Amino acid sequence: MLILALILATLSAPPAQAADAGDAAADAPQEAAPTATPTADPKMRLYYNSDGGKFYHADAQCSTIDPKYQNKMKSFAYTDLTRSGYAKLKPCTKCGAPN
Ligand SMILES: [Zn+2]
């Protein structure tokens, strides 16, 4: 029991070196701020039915997707929405696909 208490005390005690690193990193976030994402993560994957689908989905297993099209589903990046071919797709409201 005493050993367990010592381990817990060690885990909860913040190392002095980590505190120094935290101070040094405090200036960094302000320089990285311009990369803020307003609505959705650009790296987010979206899904659509490549066989005539009119909507894109945030969830590849969205309940509005007919099971017979499940093997037709393809993914693309959120940033590709501006490309021709994807631009005509509409966001699915069921799974909350981003605009
Ligand atoms: Zn959906």
Q: What is the pLDDT of residues 14-50, one digit of tens each?
A: 555 555 555 555 555 555 555 554 567 878 999 999 9
Phi, psi of 30 (to 5 degrees): -65, -35
Q: How far is the CA of 36 from the centre of ligand 1 (A)?
A: 26
Query: Using CA atoms, how far apart are residues 54 and 89, in angstroms rounded to an integer?
Result: 5
In contact, 13 and 48? CB cutoff 8 Å: no
Q: Which residue, chain included where needed, has tokens 């803020």?
A: 36
Report in angstroms the alpha-carbon separations of 47 from 6, 10, 82: 50, 46, 15
The sign one gets for the Cα dihedral 38, 90, 79, 44 is positive
pLDDT in tens, 73-88: 999 999 999 998 899 9
46 CA distance to ligand 1 middle (Å):
10
Domain-wise residue ranges, the chain: 45-91
